Amino acid sequence: MGGVLSALAKIDPSPLFVLSLLPYLAFLWWASQVEGFPKLALRGFQCTLLFVGVTIGAAIVAQLRYGELLANVDALHGGAESLLTVSNLLVVLGFSGFGAALGRRQ
């Protein structure tokens, strides 16, 4: 078992990350085509993709400017994570019907 774990630890996960974007982009496309999909929730899922991009940028800045991992640079890490919080909030509000209720009021 230890040999399998050490072999797995040596694998570069970067290609897997890129491959994981393909089904997510397909999901975003599908969700945008479904008429009944809550628009606010869709914006939240799109914002999650934005979070990924911002996090990658913040990780690069943390490494180049501070010589640290993103997790060790509180301001950058907190900023990136706050975008994820906003994304999750949009998804929850969208599926709770908040966006539709807001649209009916106007």
Residue 9: Cβ within 10 Å count: 7
Instruction: Give pLDDT tens digits for 44-100.
Output: 999 999 999 999 999 999 999 999 999 999 999 999 999 999 999 999 999 999 867
Give the three-class secondary structure for 68. coil
Greatest C-alpha distance within the chain:
62
Whether the pTM exceeds 0.85: the reply is no
Answer for the pair 44, 88: CB distance below 8 angstroms, yes or no.
yes
Q: How many CB atoms lie within 10 A of CB 46?
A: 15
